[in-house]
Structure 1
């Protein structure tokens, strides 16, 4: 939540502009128990649209798991997020499902979401947890979405303590590199032959 002055600085407009938008019915803030005007993340996307004249229309759910063995978890994640949006009264335009590691920034569907965001087409992007979108650099991705006039909504915004967060990050890095090393095992014999001076294709000595 942001107060009027804070929200104006964030969007780059004056308090008088915010009052005018409210009077025109274009951007209606919420009210606290003390009747103070406050704005949330949904207001942020709308305000940036009003300022630029561009109106992002995509409301996306992005769900991800790391491996094919987690397909059941992926479907559970999708169902939970769709129920979450339904409870919020949100009309979702597309649910995106992807299998890939959180450290991999070349995931095709992830990159498509970023492209839409940069083009100013994403209004709201819903994720179950921050790490479902990416393990590292969430704040940078969020900034890209916001520059395009959109917002990221994290359904479970529960934060870990610094030691817990560090542990999770280290485990992700270890898992990533362990998977790469495991994938290289099939080349171990071929590499050994090359080192020993044996042609791995013909198994004959190099001349």
Structure 2
């Protein structure tokens, strides 16, 4: 839904999602999604996100979906499981602490996908950025992702070289 002046305008996807609803009060079947970018040392962040989402829940929490991966990756097991739960109707509300926990880009597409299946997205702390600030934030995210991959590749090459020097593996063969 968007506001144009004093009017509310609904997209066709929103209208279809409303048709799917049963007319009465819908049961809130909440899927909580928490994500951290790396695998090490960020367990407390996952727990903090989950605690905050649980504390503000107003429906039945079906499951907490977790990922330890970049928000730019499309092959996140937790996100894929969440989308399957939305598609089969076992989750009607997806909740995240911040929009970028769900995805760095393409959140609008995910909102449409959820609406097609009659689900909604709730963000506890929505962004309050203007167009320029949001663009700069997106650019910094992309640069940070590529820098992380570059350092990861260098680190893997250095490990292989050190192992080869110690005679524990062959260079080039893995």
Q: What TM-score bracket applies, with the shorter chain setting the length?
A: 0.7 to 0.9
Distance 1:178 1:48, change over 3 A: same
| Aligned equivalent of 1:187, options 143, 146, 157 | 157
Distance 1:50 1:8, change over 3 A: farther
**Aligned partners of 2:92 and 2:27: how far apart in 1?**
5
Q: Which residue of 2 aligns with 1:77?
A: 49
Alpha carbons 1:56, 1:121 under 8 Å: kept: no
Alpha carbons 1:59, 1:93 under 8 Å: kept: yes
1:50 aligns to 2:22 (yes or no): yes
Task: Give the number of equivalent residue pairs.
Answer: 156
- Point out which structure has higher relative CO (alpha carbons under 8 A, 6+ apart): 2
Question: Cα RMSD between the aligned structures?
Answer: 3.1
**Aligned partners of 1:8 and 1:161: how far apart in 2?**
23
| Aligned equivalent of 2:147, options 173, 178, 185 | 178
1:110 aligns to 2:79 (yes or no): yes
TM-score norm. by structure 2 comes to: 0.75
Q: Larger helix proportion, structure 1 or 2?
A: 1
Q: Which residue of 2 aligns with 1:62?
A: 33
Higher Rg: 1
**Aligned partners of 1:150 and 1:101: how far apart in 2?**
24
Alpha carbons 2:28, 2:60 under 8 Å: kept: no
Helix, strand or coil at the partner of 2:61: coil
Q: Which residue of 2 aligns with 1:167?
A: 136
